[in-house]
Structure 1
């Protein structure tokens, strides 16, 4: 029997376009990207049943400029800063290259808000859904009943920028992305009754070529998501079951979700998904919520990277897992060639790294004080990894990790105003540690910090 959020989803139809993200080099925490967001301010129905609040088609009358939305906005208002409209109305009117600015405050909804399929921006001319200045708009779906039809914000369009929003309380996913080439930046999803932010096909009729691709999730935070039926569905972030290639999570934080931090599950019925890249991200204390809610079915992995013995060659780099209920990083039966580079895993409930089978590639990873031994099927490139096995540190070249190798083992995780993760001295290599510069290529450190 499938988990509730593994069942197929339905939705709307539109064109699929392609775009690539351009990376610049950086170190934990925060990779730079080419600026695709020039329009941003500096500062049981079928599971995809359309909300009654959503228009059935995109308005043919597009606004000439940006639109403003406020909790007390009125659909008859023109959408100026002094006379704001509603979010539902603005979504049908905004033109490519223009932005919907959401004023701060609580937006209470009992129905899903959907960016319909076909409601697209274009490459270099995104449609924006952005918090106004430093204000905090909160999309509050606590009025929804628990159920798979009751998502919060559904993004089925392509080429959108969603930035600075908080989404909470949905009866299912907080944010669900079925479109492609979107940039989701500095959002917070929490206390939803399924995964906080999930990518998946917009419809059971969607061809593989229409599965969501080339989406960037940046500087975002997902926490305290929990399904009240069995506690085995609500993850922090998920790109699973039906996603295309090119999806990237960078500088994202998943904590205190009742199931996993990240879930990249595949199943035989739908086959392989596109490879997902996870960079500069942190997963901690998953498998329970911050108030201690957990169940026997709550997995509690930091980064769960597969399912149903299906090969997908994901990439995980410069990321950290600590004090999760189960494994820090796990192949979860993915026998492919996952590449893990410069990751740190500390003090997880079972193995810090659990890769029982497969041709995985390990480069400069650091494991310390796991409850169970690491499992490391694949290639230990240039013997550059420091593992935790049989209750001790081990490395083929004799490098050993101890508490003295770290400036601090006291967890410290905060976020800056732009959503970037700040760890202070936590898990940072101490001056004089022989793990500094001992990685591959020569001169690279071992671990994420």
Structure 2
């Protein structure tokens, strides 16, 4: 990590090459912070106008620049407003994704660090001689010397807790929780609080960092409706750096009220932790516009992660919608009757626009995915499953089975209710019953470029409806595929023997997430590209 610092005159032109830096990425971005003094605005630091500025309500605080998609940044320029040059004392530049410190120093000016891919960057003022006035918070991919073209990194080596010089100050916009945290603690990295306390205190758009270790919990972590982030600034519940937090609910009895996390709020982002041994769902997603990323749900007494209404009896207008489940894994979920615990589900009372992307469900006692509907509640919203994998569902990792389990990879309906789901570029491998099944959904689903191999009964089982099938491949089906709908010659069905494509899919299955979270699947050592 390298840094250069200088007190900046906001009216002066920089002495380095603007061409070397590239464009100011802050223009057109978003901004937020911990607080703002009267007459100032977060947006003033990204407006390109040095005569407007942001000030915190005191002498310390955070100002952030954020984007809707990842940007590579290696230089920031902090310009103080006229009349306040030199007010900023100590500061830190913090990667918001995991709380690691990219740079620290004293005084405003130009700051460089290793090129980093991020969606939000924080400038944290930890001391000042008078109220700071930040006129501009500029961000650049390049560096003053023309560098910054190296491969961007994501920080994975956050500073240790006992280094007080690199810790952002605690506030209700950045709180730390730990297995040994205290509800009365201030929530700093040195004095972490409990998860429940952090959730009750966090401001909309703030970040809760979970320190690594096992959190032994006996009651549901509840995020009720109204405890929301905002459309431009989700509230975050993130693992700290590369640490591995495990939320363990083994003290719960099996009961439909005993979920691990019940998320009723909107605009949240979960990332990087495990939820296990809950008495019902590991995570219930009952709010809308949430992102659940790189989370593992395992050994829960019902479906690992389920999208369904938070409040009993809520009308369909309040059902959870537009949630993204991203690069998540759900496995070995099992209930006592052996017929309810799936890997993932959006069923019964889920709204429109829910998406599963790069997800893996395996070794669950019932189905990998369950999109069940019933006449009592009517059709659910349309669900999209893409670039995902279901394998060995119906058999637990320890070999356990239950006769009542359905054992499908992807169960796409129920009770003759039509819903037009989409399943693309997805793999069903050696599930106990069907790979992909309509399960009495007579709708017009889009089933494209999927691969189904060695499932116990049928690889593809669609007995009704007008679904459109394109580019699908079936190999070694337990019985001949059944296809009713719009199917053309781009599909290779199993009608009693394998087609030519199957030669590429012999051997054992392996999978991993790459550094960006994309699911990579190999069969027989060959990468599957659908």
Residues 73-120 of structure 1: CA deviation (Å, up to 9, x unaligned): 111111000111111111011112210000000000111110111100
Counterpart in 2 of 1:96? 204
**By how many angstroms is 1:412 displaced?**
1.5
Residues 4-49 of structure 1: CA deviation (Å, up to 9, x unaligned): xxxxxxxxxxxxxxxxxxxxxxxxxxxxx95399953354xxxxxx
Which of 322, 342, 346 aligns to 2:453? It is 346
**By how many angstroms is 1:189 displaced?**
0.4
Q: Is the 8 A contact 2:231 2:267 kept in 1?
A: yes
Change (3 A) 1:417 1:147: farther
Tell me, in whole angstroms, the C-alpha distance in 2 between the residues paired with 1:96 and 1:135. 24
Which of 421, 424, 441 aligns to 2:522? It is 424
Q: Is the 8 A contact 1:374 1:387 kept in 2?
A: yes
**By how many angstroms is 1:424 displaced?**
3.3
Tell me, in whole angstroms, the C-alpha distance in 2 between the residues paired with 1:101 and 1:267. 39
Counterpart in 2 of 1:233? 340
Q: Is the 8 A contact 1:360 1:379 kept in 2?
A: yes
Counterpart in 1 of 2:123? none
Counterpart in 1 of 2:485? 378
Q: Is the 8 A contact 1:283 1:322 kept in 2?
A: yes
Q: Is the 8 A contact 1:220 1:251 kept in 2?
A: yes
Residues 147-201 of structure 1: CA deviation (Å, up to 9, x unaligned): 1111101100000000001000001100001000000000000000100000101
Tell me how many residue pairs correspond in the alignment: 372
Residues 42-78 of structure 1: CA deviation (Å, up to 9, x unaligned): 54xxxxxxxxxxxxxxxxxx94430000111111111
Give the secondary structure class of the aligned counterpart of 2:466: strand
TM-score (norm 1): 0.80
Counterpart in 2 of 1:264? 371
Tell me, in whole angstroms, the C-alpha distance in 2 between the residues paired with 1:212 and 1:377. 31
Counterpart in 2 of 1:71? 179
Counterpart in 2 of 1:217? 325
**By how many angstroms is 1:380 displaced?**
1.0
1:387 is aligned to 2:493? yes
Unaligned runs of 5+ in 2: 1-66, 72-94, 99-153, 156-169
Q: Is the 8 A contact 2:332 2:364 kept in 1?
A: yes
Counterpart in 1 of 2:260? 152
Give RMSD over aligned pairs.
2.0
Counterpart in 2 of 1:85? 193
Tell me, in whole angstroms, the C-alpha distance in 2 between the residues paired with 1:145 and 1:410. 37
Residues 289-309 of structure 1: CA deviation (Å, up to 9, x unaligned): 111111111111000000000
**By how many angstroms is 1:256 displaced?**
0.1
Tell me, in whole angstroms, the C-alpha distance in 2 between the residues paired with 1:426 and 1:125. 43
1:40 is aligned to 2:86? no
Map 1:17-416 onto structure 2 (within 5 A): 35=69, 39-41=96-98, 42-43=154-155, 63-228=171-336, 230-381=337-488, 383-389=489-495, 391-393=496-498, 400-401=499-500, 403-406=502-505, 408-416=506-514
**By how many angstroms is 1:124 displaced?**
1.3
**By how many angstroms is 1:427 displaced?**
8.3
Tell me, in whole angstroms, the C-alpha distance in 2 between the residues paired with 1:115 and 1:168. 18
Higher relative contact order (CA 8 A, sep 6+): 1
Tell me, in whole angstroms, the C-alpha distance in 2 between the residues paired with 1:417 and 1:70. 26
Unaligned runs of 5+ in 1: 1-32, 44-61, 394-399, 430-446
Tell me, in whole angstroms, the C-alpha distance in 2 between the residues paired with 1:425 and 1:204. 43
Q: Is the 8 A contact 1:320 1:448 kept in 2?
A: no
Change (3 A) 1:313 1:112: same
**By how many angstroms is 1:414 displaced?**
3.0
Tell me, in whole angstroms, the C-alpha distance in 2 between the residues paired with 1:288 and 1:404. 27
Give the secondary structure class of the aligned counterpart of 2:467: strand
Change (3 A) 1:404 1:36: closer
Runs (4+) off by over 6 Å: none
Tell me, in whole angstroms, the C-alpha distance in 2 between the residues paired with 1:34 and 1:246. 19
